[in-house]
Structure 1
Amino acid sequence: MLSLLKINNLALVDQLVWQLDTGLVGVTGETGAGKSVIVGALKLVLGERAEKSLIRTGEETCTVEAVFDLADAPVVNSILEDSGLDACDDGQLIVKRVIGLTSNKQFINNSPATLAVLKSLGAYLVDLHGPHDHQGLLSTERQLSMLDAYAGATELGRDFRKAWRHWRSASDSLHNFQTAGVEGERELELLRHQLHEIDAAKPNPDEEEELETHYQRASNSSRLVELATGATNLLSAGEDTLMDRFGQLQKLCRDLEKLDPGLRETLEGVDRAVMELQEIDSGLIDYLDDLSTDPAELAALEERINTLETLKRKYGPGLDDVLVHRNEIADRLDSVENRAERLQELENEVAAARKLADAAGSKLSEKRRKAAPKLAKEIARHLKELGFKQAAFEVRLLPHREPEAGGLEGVEFEFGPNPGEPMKPLRQIASSGEISRVMLSVKSALADQDATPLMVFDEIDANVGGEIARAVGEKMARLGERHQVVAITHFPQVAAVAAHHFVVSKEVRDGRTCSQLVQVQDEDRIVELVRMLGGGGKQARAMAESLLV
């Protein structure tokens, strides 16, 4: 139930703290007193977009805060958890909207939230109906969910939707496969050519660096031979080489060391230098032996580099990308060349999925066929109590050619208010008075299955007579035995049957008009009913008192 509604600086309301109880709560007041503010506040709680014009003149913000006490809230907690918010461990849910001149904010249990989350929660918290708020009832999708709830087929509906989604997914895969066929033999030949070109080259990303090094060496082999030969000539070839001179130096140093051992440390580097020069000379000689100047090898290296560059140009930019493209081509060819086999697999999957969907749909349809006439009879009974003495109501099942998300059939609620006149779908009913009473009849028939904690009826008794208004009120009161019901009404017959009666009025304080909400009981309630009856005197008072009996 909604246990508390707080409003600050919303339209004519400067401050309102409304504590609600269970059962039918009646709200009355003169036209323009501010009853619509309550509905507006609830719509804000339900995630409706807010306009700056709602802010009370002279103020910068307005706030609306609602506290819901939920005995069992698995769906609400699931929505909260999916949105990254804490669940209602204590069963209490607090929703707050702050509307500002520059920005708006919303909170759930003191944590920031989005309007989308508020709307998701609102669908499970409040069922709001006004003179023109019957779109939900007129929607065939909503009518189907009502029938399923009445039939106890909600779980079967979930099972069917799961099977239906699997069938649709398999059907989409088959369709995509069929429409993505090879565009003739040319495409097939192109795929084979590309695969052969890549496989013949056997590209290896690890070879590029080594290949480039070998190519640079081979392409500069003549100059490398010239330079390396010149170095070895200086070191050891010919006459008066570096090695000869270092040999002479080494002999002189050894003679010096014999005469003066103290020079050992100074001269010991000569031997190391001689050894290093010998190693350099030996390494250059080996390098010259390994250095190839074969033009054929250079040509082969050039050809290999060109081959890899061509592959990168076509399928790259890098060799890794070339290999990825190669695997894609192979998969595509495999798919194409084994097309008939894959097509049969997909067709089998679709057939199996359709069989499961049909089986789940048949179970759901059977439940609906049994429940539809019972629901129609129940709604018709409530309609008679609301003044449609000879009205007819039918819940018509309309088979689909192919399974749809809602099942193997749709539904249409049809209504015939007058004998001899054809039945019409609810969406074709023009009278707001008629559709309001039909909506109340449907709600009454589904009272045990409807899990919405709060129902709000905003002047749905408009355009009905006094006797019918009393029946409407009694119907709301019986709904109040299973739900918390708020009825905003102009009819004393409705207000009189409410378990709790509140009056909205206007007063001027410090030159400003303000709306206020007070609960009336005993004598104050009789006075309000007399006002609603449109006159004073003993007769009006007696009528008001009789309404409360």
Structure 2
Amino acid sequence: MLAVLKIKNLALVDDLTWDLGSGLIGVTGQTGAGKSMIVGALKLILGERANHDLIRTGESSCTVEAIFELSDNLDHVNALLEENGLERCEDNSLVVKRIFGSGNKQFVNCSPCTLAALKSIGALLVDLHGPHEHQSLLSRDRQLAMLDAYAGAGKEREAYRSAYKIWQDAVTEWEEFQNTRQISDREIDLLRFQVDEIGAAGLVVDEVAELEQRYRQSQNSSRLLDNTSQAVDLLSAAVASLGNAHRCIRELERIDPAISEKIAGFESARVEIEEVEGNLREYSEDLEIDPSELASIERRIDEIETLKRKYGQTIEEVLAYEEKARARLDSIDGRESELQRLNESVGEARMKVDKAAVALSRIRDKAAPKLAKEIAGHLDDLGFHQSVFEIEFETLDEPGSRGAEAVDFLFGPNPGEPLKPLRVIASSGEMSRVMLAVKSALADQDRIPLMVFDEIDANVGGEIAGAVGKKMAFLGDRHQVIAITHMPQVAALAHRHFLVTKEVEKDSTNSRLERVEDDARANELARMLGGVGPETLALAKKMLG
């Protein structure tokens, strides 16, 4: 329940702390006193966007804070808090705070949160109804949720939701694969050509450097051959001369051994020169390149450069492109078997959805007549003595996220008139009472702790107003209920009665909220009955019992 509501600088309220209590809470006051500030504050707590015009004149910011004490739906709220990265409730207490002015801030359990998160949390805390705010009752999805709550179908509904999600995931995967499967034969041919072209080239990562070196050699082969031949001829003559010199040196050493030191490097120099001559001869033989081989090198280089222009700047990139294209082809070639697997997956998931839907539909079919009968009983209490209320099922062509059927709450307020869906009923007075009847029928299943009825009795009076008050009191025995009302029949049945008044002090207008009891409460009821006087005061005291 809502334990405390704090409001500061909202409209005519300067500073208010409201300790509510449990049961049916009646809020009354003259028109324009400021009763709407309660609804305005609660809407801010529920995540409605802040209107800066609501800030009290002369102030720069407004603050609204609510403290909820939770029990039945505590686990659900905590799960939602964790999902949004917020602190869990401590000692069953949830604290929501809104501040707006120069900036907008909202906090849940002292942690900042988004408006979207606040709205989702608020939906678990407060069910607010005004004279023209019955959208939740008109929604077919909401009607289906009400039927499921009444039927106690939470387990079956969750089983269906899980099966439906698996089926939808399988369908999505199948559709995505189908989209990729629409690849054209032309694209397949292109991929195969690319793979064949790169593969046929037989690329080797390091061959480019070797080819370029051989190509440079072949381009300058004539100059290289001339210079090499001259060098070889000269070295050959030198080697012959060195041979003659070697015989002379041997003879010198035989005659004068002391000369050995002076000619120590001759032998090694002669050997090195002979090696250089031999290396140049081999080099010369390698330089004798066949013209056809030169053309072959040129073609190979052109082939590699063409592949690089198409598929990458280096041989490594070209080979990587080939691998990617080959993998793409492999996946396309195996698409028929993959499609078969996905079809089977979708089929199996659909069978499970249908099975879960049958179980959910069965429990709904069983509960619908009972709920309709109970709502009709509450409608009779609210003055619709000859009305008819039914719940109609519509089988869907395909299973939806909430089951295999949709529902419509049908209502016929007058004999002889056809039943119509609630969403086409124009009278707000009728809708208010229908909503109250539905809420009464679901009172034991509804887990939302606080219900707020903002002048839903505006279009009723007399005996019907008394019946509306009794229904609210009935709901107040099971929930915390705030009834903002102009009807004394409703206010008299409240477990707690609060009066909103407007005071003017030094050119400043303030709205005040205070609890009225005993004589003060009787005086307020008398005012609501038409003005304080002996007769109205006596009637008010009689209404209070």
Shared fold, TM over 0.5: yes
Q: Report the equivalent of 2:91.
A: 90
Q: Report the equivalent of 2:253.
A: none
Quote the offset at 1:215 in angstroms. 2.4
Quote the offset at 1:165 in angstroms. 2.9
Whichever residue aligns with residue 125 of structure 2, its letter is: L
Whichever residue aligns with residue 143 of structure 2, its letter is: Q
Distance 1:436 1:311 in 2: 78
Q: Report the equivalent of 1:159.
A: 159
Distance 1:361 1:287 in 2: 89
1:56 matches 2:52: no
1:422 matches 2:418: yes
Would the aligned equivalents of 2:10 and 2:54 in 1 still touch at CA under 8 Å? yes
Distance 1:450 1:69 in 2: 16
Would the aligned equivalents of 2:3 and 2:67 in 1 still touch at CA under 8 Å? yes
Quote the offset at 1:481 in angstroms. 1.6
Quote the offset at 1:301 in angstroms. 4.8
Please list, as runs of the form range in 1=range in 2, the aligned pairs for 1:364-383 lying within 5 A after superposition.
364-383=360-379
Distance 1:301 1:121 in 2: 75
1:196 matches 2:196: yes
Distance 1:285 1:89 in 2: 93
1:495 matches 2:487: no
1:436 matches 2:432: yes
Alpha-carbon displacement from aligned partner over 1:214-254 (angstroms, at most 9, x marks no partner): 12211221559949977x969x946889xx9xx9xxxxxxx
Would the aligned equivalents of 2:5 and 2:64 in 1 still touch at CA under 8 Å? yes
Residues 482, 212 of structure 1: CA spacing in aligned structure 2 closer, same or farther, 3 A cutoff? Answer: same
Distance 1:286 1:117 in 2: 87
Quote the offset at 1:429 in angstroms. 0.7
Q: Which has the larger radius of gyration?
A: 2
Whichever residue aligns with residue 199 of structure 1, its letter is: G
Structure 1 window deviating more from structure 2 (362-371 vs 66-75): it is 66-75
Residues 513, 184 of structure 1: CA spacing in aligned structure 2 closer, same or farther, 3 A cutoff? Answer: closer
Alpha-carbon displacement from aligned partner over 1:498-518 (angstroms, at most 9, x marks no partner): 111111111012211111111
Would the aligned equivalents of 1:27 and 1:495 in 2 still touch at CA under 8 Å? yes
Quote the offset at 1:421 in angstroms. 1.1
Match of 2:458, SS?
Answer: coil
Residues 25, 201 of structure 1: CA spacing in aligned structure 2 closer, same or farther, 3 A cutoff? Answer: farther
Structure 2 alignment gaps of length 5 or more = 247-257
Structure 1 alignment gaps of length 5 or more = 248-254, 260-269
Alpha-carbon displacement from aligned partner over 1:250-286 (angstroms, at most 9, x marks no partner): xxxxx99x99xxxxxxxxxx99x99xx99x9699769
Alpha-carbon displacement from aligned partner over 1:86-118 (angstroms, at most 9, x marks no partner): 2113221111111113x2111111111100110
Residues 85, 172 of structure 1: CA spacing in aligned structure 2 closer, same or farther, 3 A cutoff? Answer: closer
Match of 1:531, SS?
Answer: helix
Distance 2:151 2:61 in 1: 47
Quote the offset at 1:67 in angstroms. 1.0
Quote the offset at 1:143 in angstroms. 0.3
Would the aligned equivalents of 1:24 and 1:498 in 2 still touch at CA under 8 Å? yes
Distance 2:132 2:16 in 1: 27
Identity within the alignment, %: 53
Please list, as runs of the form range in 1=range in 2, the aligned pairs for 1:25-104 lying within 5 A after superposition.
25-71=25-71, 73-101=74-102, 103-104=103-104
- The one of 398, 402, 415 equivalent to 2:398 is 402
Distance 2:225 2:525 in 1: 119
Q: Report the equivalent of 1:330.
A: 330
Match of 1:136, SS?
Answer: helix
Residues 496, 297 of structure 1: CA spacing in aligned structure 2 closer, same or farther, 3 A cutoff? Answer: farther
Distance 2:297 2:474 in 1: 94
Alpha-carbon displacement from aligned partner over 1:385-415 (angstroms, at most 9, x marks no partner): 1111111110111111221222111100001
Match of 1:75, SS?
Answer: helix
Would the aligned equivalents of 1:316 and 1:322 in 2 still touch at CA under 8 Å? no
Would the aligned equivalents of 1:228 and 1:288 in 2 still touch at CA under 8 Å? no
- The one of 385, 389, 392 equivalent to 2:385 is 389
Would the aligned equivalents of 1:93 and 1:109 in 2 still touch at CA under 8 Å? yes
Distance 1:124 1:287 in 2: 94
RMSD of Structure 2 on Structure 1 (CA): 3.4
Q: Report the equivalent of 2:118.
A: 118
Whichever residue aligns with residue 106 of structure 1, its letter is: Q
Q: Report the equivalent of 2:254.
A: none
Would the aligned equivalents of 1:25 and 1:485 in 2 still touch at CA under 8 Å? yes
Structure 1 window deviating more from structure 2 (464-473 vs 305-314): it is 305-314
Distance 2:528 2:277 in 1: 121
Whichever residue aligns with residue 546 of structure 1, its letter is: K
Residues 462, 281 of structure 1: CA spacing in aligned structure 2 closer, same or farther, 3 A cutoff? Answer: farther
Distance 2:278 2:19 in 1: 99
Distance 1:505 1:176 in 2: 63
Whichever residue aligns with residue 9 of structure 2, its letter is: N
Residues 13, 237 of structure 1: CA spacing in aligned structure 2 closer, same or farther, 3 A cutoff? Answer: farther
Alpha-carbon displacement from aligned partner over 1:35-90 (angstroms, at most 9, x marks no partner): 11111111111111112111111111111111111235222112221222221132
Distance 1:370 1:526 in 2: 47
Structure 1 window deviating more from structure 2 (177-186 vs 381-390): it is 177-186
Alpha-carbon displacement from aligned partner over 1:441-468 (angstroms, at most 9, x marks no partner): 1111111111101111111111001211
Please list, as runs of the form range in 1=range in 2, the aligned pairs for 1:236-247 lying within 5 A after superposition.
237=235
Match of 1:98, SS?
Answer: strand
Distance 2:97 2:285 in 1: 85
Residues 182, 463 of structure 1: CA spacing in aligned structure 2 closer, same or farther, 3 A cutoff? Answer: closer
Q: Report the equivalent of 2:12.
A: 12
- The one of 510, 513, 516 equivalent to 1:514 is 510
Residues 138, 221 of structure 1: CA spacing in aligned structure 2 closer, same or farther, 3 A cutoff? Answer: same
1:213 matches 2:209: yes
Match of 2:334, SS?
Answer: helix
Residues 427, 382 of structure 1: CA spacing in aligned structure 2 closer, same or farther, 3 A cutoff? Answer: same
Distance 2:475 2:278 in 1: 104
Quote the offset at 1:13 in angstroms. 0.9
TM-score (norm 1): 0.85
Distance 2:374 2:282 in 1: 104
Whichever residue aligns with residue 392 of structure 1, its letter is: V
Q: Report the equivalent of 2:249.
A: none
Residues 309, 154 of structure 1: CA spacing in aligned structure 2 closer, same or farther, 3 A cutoff? Answer: farther
Whichever residue aligns with residue 6 of structure 2, its letter is: K
Distance 1:283 1:64 in 2: 101
Whichever residue aligns with residue 212 of structure 1, its letter is: V
Alpha-carbon displacement from aligned partner over 1:303-341 (angstroms, at most 9, x marks no partner): 444444444444446322342133112212332xxx3x4
Would the aligned equivalents of 1:188 and 1:333 in 2 still touch at CA under 8 Å? no
Whichever residue aligns with residue 517 of structure 2, its letter is: Q
Structure 1 window deviating more from structure 2 (316-325 vs 519-528): it is 316-325
Whichever residue aligns with residue 506 of structure 1, its letter is: K
Distance 1:134 1:227 in 2: 102
Alpha-carbon displacement from aligned partner over 1:328-378 (angstroms, at most 9, x marks no partner): 12212332xxx3x44444433333222211111000000000000000001
Residues 287, 60 of structure 1: CA spacing in aligned structure 2 closer, same or farther, 3 A cutoff? Answer: farther
Structure 1 window deviating more from structure 2 (379-388 vs 292-301): it is 292-301
Please list, as runs of the form range in 1=range in 2, the aligned pairs for 1:191-340 lying within 5 A after superposition.
191-203=191-203, 207-208=204-205, 210-221=206-217, 226=224, 237=235, 288=283, 293=289, 299-316=295-312, 318-319=317-318, 320-335=320-335, 339=336
Whichever residue aligns with residue 152 of structure 1, its letter is: G
Q: Report the equivalent of 2:251.
A: none
Structure 1 window deviating more from structure 2 (78-87 vs 403-412): it is 78-87
Whichever residue aligns with residue 85 of structure 1, its letter is: L
Match of 2:531, SS?
Answer: coil
